[in-house]
Amino acid sequence: MERLKPFIALLDLDLLLFMAVSAVKVGFFLGAVMGFTAFLTWVERKLSSLMQDRVGPNRASIFGFTLLGLFHPIADGIKLMMKEDFVPARASKVLFTLAPVITLVPVLAAFAVIPFGNYIEILGYRVDLVIARLPLGLLYVLAVSGFAIYGTFLAGWASKSNFALLGALRGAAQMISYEVTLGLTLVGLMMVYGTADLQQIVLAQGRLLFGVIPAWGVIYQFPAFLLFLTAAMAENKRTPFDVVEGESEIIGYFMEYSSMRFAIFMFAEFIEIILVAMLAVTLFLGGWQIPYLGEAGFLFPCGRSIAIHPYAVVLAQMAAFAGKTAFMCWALMTLRWTVPRFRFDQVMKLAWQGILPLSLLNILVTGLVLLLAGKL
Amino acid sequence: MIEIKKVNNRPLNLLERIYVWEIFKGFLVTARHFFVNLFCPGKIITIQYPEITRPLEHAAKRRTRHRLKMRANGTPKCVACFLCATACPAFCIHIEAGEFTSSQVEKYPAVFDVDLSRCVMCGMCVEACPEDAIAMDTEVIPGGVLKREDMYLTRNKLLQNMPGDPSIKGAANRLA
Ligand code: SF4
Ligand code: SF4
């Protein structure tokens, strides 16, 4: 006990409080994301069916209630858990087990720097509504999402199956190409806002352009928005960039996986949709900002103002963030069901001959404009 | 609804090769379908099959669930000759013959199973039958069941005369 004393002294109240608040934030935010992911699996099936003039899943029922097929994610989960957990005889066991984890963890870690609200003051203690506020948050996201490729490649490599390896090779080529461009598409944005702190970027988007238009990233950097979405969809490995999987040809890097191990890959993919949507919202669509809503209430350009309690403002902003994210998820899924799969050479050509030069051009033009406007 | 579209294979112009605008147009098409079907689900043409059926038209009426006809005395008309089982491309008819002791007819089917989960509804069995004993005119469409057994027709489920069937009256049946 005597020897522990210095350590206990180190754990002062502030640190304990900070840890407790962080734990609550992690629980709240990741819980919301996970719940939304399960919901998304249902949304995707229902959405695709409605687009194709079908009805979609509607048979899973509890006591005769189907609730529009909302029980299907539960049924899927039960089914996946009951399946045989199969490991190919020649697979390298350790890597085979590790691959799904390496796929999932970076995706979850990236959520740490995404601001889902401004801040609230509880009894004089300021709580930032972001799990970890890093000055280089944007670079952190890019760095962490770069990890995802290890999961993909290890899965293909460790299963010792030709098709899985083929999928992994395609995946490696595609993800490396698009990671380069993903970073470059965001450089222009960092130049405009002069920071890589995501919270700062969102705060900057609360300003007004010419006193009327909200200064969202999509207005400053519309081409970058399109380029970012394309690159992010490619990173996500879903149609139209799903040569990695190519259900009709090679199944892809997770071919040998079954049961919950496969479920983790699928889950990671869906969480990545949310991540891409949240990034797009944070960087380009104003994050949690609602136009004209300041910390004390609405302040319209025409001079009218409505006072709102700060807590209500924060709640409304969090709801706005959730709403924008849901909208982006919807848009991404609709795109996925609209565009046919690209051929592999087209995927590569798009990355190196399309998006890369265009994002470099975007940086150049942004720099020129900033120079001429005297902002540099 | 499905309609035929004539595709014009001209070379793509610049806007189409940039592709972004075309993707956006496609996006609007799928989004339109989504919202139309979301707000008026009645427009979806899917039929919730086992609960809702619709009357069969034309040729579809001709081949439906099998039945075995009966003679006027209630014995099966089938003589267990195995011709239908031989003709069946799906190997889904299983027959075991039984022997009559006191009758002009030698054999009868002690077991006669049709596995509807394999049957392709081709009607070859009906064509092959020399006794006109098997027919596919019940107007019941197989499928839409929750248990495998429900797709497996045994002799007792098959033996069925239709109202007004000639075999009931004894016409068209040389042995009755
Ligand atoms: S309809 Fe065709 S497949 Fe079905 S039992 Fe008769 S012969 Fe066999
Ligand atoms: S062909 Fe006709 S008579 Fe011969 S076994 Fe089949 S149903 Fe019976």
- The predicted-structure confidence for A289-347, as pLDDT tens digits, reads as follows 888 887 777 877 777 788 888 888 888 999 999 999 999 999 999 999 998 888 888 89
**pLDDT value, residue A66:** 79
The residue among B89 and B161 whose pLDDT is bigger is: B89
- Going by their DSSP bridges, the two strands B67-68 and A208-209 should be labelled as unpaired
Average pLDDT of the segment spanning A19-48 = 91
> Is A339 in Cβ contact with B23 (below 8 Å)?
yes
B112 shares its domain with B48: no
Residue A339 sits at the chain B interface (C-beta within 8 Å): yes
- We report the CATH number of the domain holding residue B151 as 3.30.70.3270
Q: Which residues, 6 or more positions from A143, have their beta carbon under 8 angstroms from its beta carbon?
A: none
Look up the pTM and report it.
0.81
Mean pLDDT of chain B, nearest integer: 84
**pLDDT value, residue A284:** 92
Cβ(A219)–Cβ(A283) below 8 Å = no
| Residue A156 lies in domain | 84-372
Q: Residue B135, SS3?
A: strand
A162 shares its domain with A15: no
> Is A53 in Cβ contact with B45 (below 8 Å)?
yes
Q: How far is the centre of ligand 2, averaged over its atoms, from the C-alpha of A322 (Å)?
A: 67
In 3D space, the residue among A79, A45, A84, A76 whose CA is nearest the CA of residue A256 turns out to be A84
B39 shares its domain with B85: no
B48 shares its domain with B118: no
Cβ(B68)–Cβ(B160) below 8 Å = yes
Domain count, chain A: 2
Q: Tell which B residues from 8 to 27 touch A, by Cβ distance under 8 Å.
A: 20, 23, 26-27
B97 shares its domain with B137: yes
Distance to chain B for A9, nearest Cα, Å: 60
Distance to chain B for A266, nearest Cα, Å: 24
A60 shares its domain with A103: no
Domain assignment of residue B60, yes or no: no
Residue B48 sits at the chain A interface (C-beta within 8 Å): yes
B34 shares its domain with B89: no
Q: How far is the centre of ligand 2, averaged over its atoms, from the C-alpha of B56 (Å)?
A: 27
Domain assignment of residue B5, yes or no: no
A202 shares its domain with A268: yes
A66 shares its domain with A207: no
**pLDDT value, residue B174:** 46
Ligand 2-lining residues (CB < 6 angstroms):
B 78-84, 95, 128-129, 131, 133-134
Concatenating the DSSP letter of every residue in A209-242 gives ETTTEE--HHHH-HHHHHHHHHHHHHHHT-TTSG
Question: Token pair 């069969």 is at which residue?
Answer: B56
Distance CA A88, CA A155 (A): 12
Distance to chain A for B105, nearest Cα, Å: 50
Distance CA A131, CA A306 (A): 30
B82 shares its domain with B155: yes
B83 shares its domain with B154: yes
A179 shares its domain with A323: yes
Domain assignment of residue B33, yes or no: yes
B108 shares its domain with B143: yes
B73 shares its domain with B159: yes
Tokens of residue A4, six digits = 């522990």
In 3D space, the residue among B137, B125, B146 whose CA is nearest the CA of residue B51 turns out to be B146
Last residue of a domain, one of A82, A100, A122: A82
Alpha helices in chain A (DSSP H): 5-10, 13-51, 72-82, 93-109, 137-145, 148-158, 162-193, 198-204, 217-220, 222-236, 259-284, 310-336, 344-349, 356-372
pLDDT at residue A357 tops 90: yes
Q: How do residues A77-93 score in pLDDT, each as one tens digit?
A: 899 999 998 888 888 88
A214 shares its domain with A281: yes
> Is A337 in Cβ contact with B30 (below 8 Å)?
yes
Q: CB burial class (10 A; 0-12, 13-18, 19+) of residue A128?
A: middle
CA–CA distance from A288 to each of A299, B128, B171 (Å)? 17, 74, 84
Domain assignment of residue B62, yes or no: no
**pLDDT value, residue B152:** 92
A67 shares its domain with A90: no
pLDDT at residue B88 tops 90: yes
Residue A39 sits at the chain B interface (C-beta within 8 Å): no
**pLDDT value, residue B59:** 65
Tokens of residue B122, six digits = 């081709």
Least confident of A150-154, A266-270, B12-16: B12-16
Q: What whole-number percentage of chain B has pLDDT above 70?
A: 90
Give the residue from chain A lying closest to B26, CA to CA: A338
pLDDT at residue B169 tops 70: no
pLDDT at residue A214 tops 70: yes
Nearest CA to ligand 2 atom 2: B129
The residue among A69 and A6 whose pLDDT is bigger is: A69
A60 shares its domain with A183: no
pLDDT at residue A193 tops 70: yes
Domain assignment of residue B176, yes or no: no
CA–CA distance from A317 to each of A26, A119, A292, B150, B166 (Å)? 18, 10, 12, 56, 79
Q: CB burial class (10 A; 0-12, 13-18, 19+) of residue A53?
A: middle
Nearest CA to ligand 2 atom 1: B129
Least confident of A118-132, A219-233, B22-36, B145-159: A118-132
Q: Which residues, 6 or more positions from A251, have their beta carbon under 8 angstroms from its beta carbon?
A: A163, A164, A167, A245
Distance to chain B for A331, nearest Cα, Å: 9
pLDDT at residue B173 tops 50: no
pLDDT band at B1 (very low <50, low <70, confident <90, very high): low
Domain assignment of residue B16, yes or no: yes
B72 shares its domain with B158: yes
**pLDDT value, residue B40:** 87
> Is A54 in Cβ contact with B30 (below 8 Å)?
no
Report the residue from A54, A334, A339 with minimal CB separation from B31: A334
Domain count, chain B: 2
| Residue B39 lies in domain | 12-54
A61 shares its domain with A163: no
Domain assignment of residue B32, yes or no: yes
**pLDDT value, residue B61:** 67
**pLDDT value, residue B60:** 62
Average pLDDT of the segment spanning B70-79 = 84
Distance CA B44, CA B37 (A): 7
Mutation pick for ligand 1 pocket among B65, B88, B134 (CB with most ligand atoms within 8 Å): B88
**pLDDT value, residue A5:** 67
Q: Dihedrals φ, ψ of A338, to 5°?
A: -100, -45
Last residue of a domain, one of A30, A49, A82: A82
> Is B33 in Cβ contact with A338 (below 8 Å)?
no
B111 shares its domain with B158: yes
Nearest CA to ligand 1 atom 2: B122
Give the DSSP letter of residue A61: -
pLDDT band at A211 (very low <50, low <70, confident <90, very high): confident
Domain assignment of residue B6, yes or no: no
Work out how many CB contacts closer than 8 A connect A with B: 39
Cβ(B112)–Cβ(B154) below 8 Å = yes
Cβ(A328)–Cβ(A154) below 8 Å = no
Phi-psi region of A143 (alpha: psi -120 to 50; beta: other; left: phi over 0): alpha
Residue A53 sits at the chain B interface (C-beta within 8 Å): yes
B49 shares its domain with B72: no
Q: How far is the centre of ligand 2, averaged over its atoms, from the C-alpha of B108 (Å)?
A: 9
Last residue of a domain, one of A51, A82, A113: A82
Facing residues of B97 across strands? Answer: B109
